[in-house]
Amino acid sequence: MSQSAIITVMERACRKAAPKLRRDFGEVAQLQVSRKGPADFVSQADKAAERTLVEELQRARPGWGFLLEEGGEIPGEAPDSPRFIIDPLDGTTNFLHGIPHFAMSIGVEHLGTMIAGMIYQPLTDESFWAERGRGAWLQNARLRVSGRRDMDEALFATGIPFKGHGDQPQFEAILKNVIPQVAGVRRFGAASLDLAWVAAGRFDGFWEQGLHAWDVAAGMLLVKEAGGFVSDFRGGERMIERREVIAANDVLHSRLHKLVAEAVR
């Protein structure tokens, strides 16, 4: 399928920010041995990528609003203006440690509904994108969620709470329910890519709590447009508000939701 104008705009912005992010990632390995460590450097790389994305998107869509991980909220010209929801570097801890698994995530929200999304992996040059009603795609190949129906054949992704983030007892209760039922659980450290991989059928499902809008806005649309189901832990639609997500195909979503709901009850 040919890309629409808004997808082209988002991809162009990602490709403009990508070369410096790749160079900065190459520099991180050199900084690992320094006493100060590379954390400040990575924080600057994150902000620089966000600036580039915002500049490119503002040039192409003046008057639109923004919700930014680093820069907060920038209102649009009108109350009903669409807005971009951006995470310029999802997988910061991976980036910091020289692990080649991170992405840029851009969602477009209009009147409370996600209408477009892109997740771009600068190192693999994979561009996952979706538009409401037009399906989910990896470059020009159509994406579909996994067709697996049995939990014992399914591979799930999640995020593990860490210092100062998330509800560890709740996570442990969910994991205790899920692990005996499934073929495996992975924690790769970038929620946007986890959701993109669910849309691509690489993972059979995903759950995580403590997420922000910029972590999941684009990815949730990708999963839905690839034929999957997305909900909060209670099976409702308040994923952003409750900061929790379950994503999978219809059958596995129902089974995963049941395990999660039992654990958090």
High-pLDDT (> 90) share of the chain, %: 86
| Average pLDDT value for residue range 32-54 | 81
High-pLDDT (> 70) share of the chain, %: 96
Both tokens of 67, joined, read 């919700």
The pLDDT, as a whole number, for residue 63 is 96
Confidence of residue 156 (pLDDT cuts 50, 70, 90): very high
Produce one character per residue of 46-65: b if its CB has 16 or more CB atoms within 10 Å, e if not.
bbbbbebbbebbeeebeebb
14 and 127 Cβ atoms separated by less than 8 Å: yes
Q: Domains of the chain, with CATH numbers?
A: 5-142 (3.30.540.10), 151-264 (3.40.190.80)
Q: Model confidence over 185-232: pLDDT tens digits?
A: 999 999 999 999 999 999 999 999 999 999 999 999 999 999 999 999
7 and 131 Cβ atoms separated by less than 8 Å: yes
- DSSP structure class, residue 223: H
What is the C-alpha separation between 72 and 100, in angstroms, rounded?
Answer: 27
Q: Model confidence over 122-134: pLDDT tens digits?
A: 999 999 999 999 9
Cβ-based burial of 173 (10 A; exposed 0-12, middle 13-18, buried ≥19): middle
The pLDDT, as a whole number, for residue 36 is 56
151 and 122 Cβ atoms separated by less than 8 Å: no
> Distances in Å between the alpha carbon of 247 and those of 2, 40, 221?
27, 34, 11
Residue 172 has pLDDT above 80, yes or no: yes
Both tokens of 65, joined, read 């609003």
229 and 247 Cβ atoms separated by less than 8 Å: yes
What is the C-alpha separation between 180 and 28, in angstroms, rounded?
Answer: 38
Residue 1 has pLDDT above 80, yes or no: no
Confidence of residue 42 (pLDDT cuts 50, 70, 90): confident
Residue 163 has pLDDT above 90, yes or no: no
CA 45, 137, 206, 86 torsion: positive or negative? positive
Residue 247 has pLDDT above 70, yes or no: yes
The pLDDT, as a whole number, for residue 32 is 60
Q: What is the chain's mean pLDDT, rounded? A: 94
Tokens 């991980």 belong to residue: 69
The pLDDT, as a whole number, for residue 43 is 87
pTM of the predicted model as reported, rounded to 2 decimal places: 0.95
Helix segments in 82-141, DSSP class H: 92-96
The pLDDT, as a whole number, for residue 40 is 82
Produce one character per residue of 86-107: b if its CB has 16 or more CB atoms within 10 Å, e if not.
bbbbbbbebbbeeeeebbbbbb
What is the C-alpha separation between 208 and 239, in angstroms, rounded?
Answer: 10
Confidence of residue 136 (pLDDT cuts 50, 70, 90): very high
The pLDDT, as a whole number, for residue 133 is 97
What is the C-alpha separation between 174 and 256, in angstroms, rounded?
Answer: 10
Residue 153 has pLDDT above 60, yes or no: yes
Residue 108 has pLDDT above 90, yes or no: yes
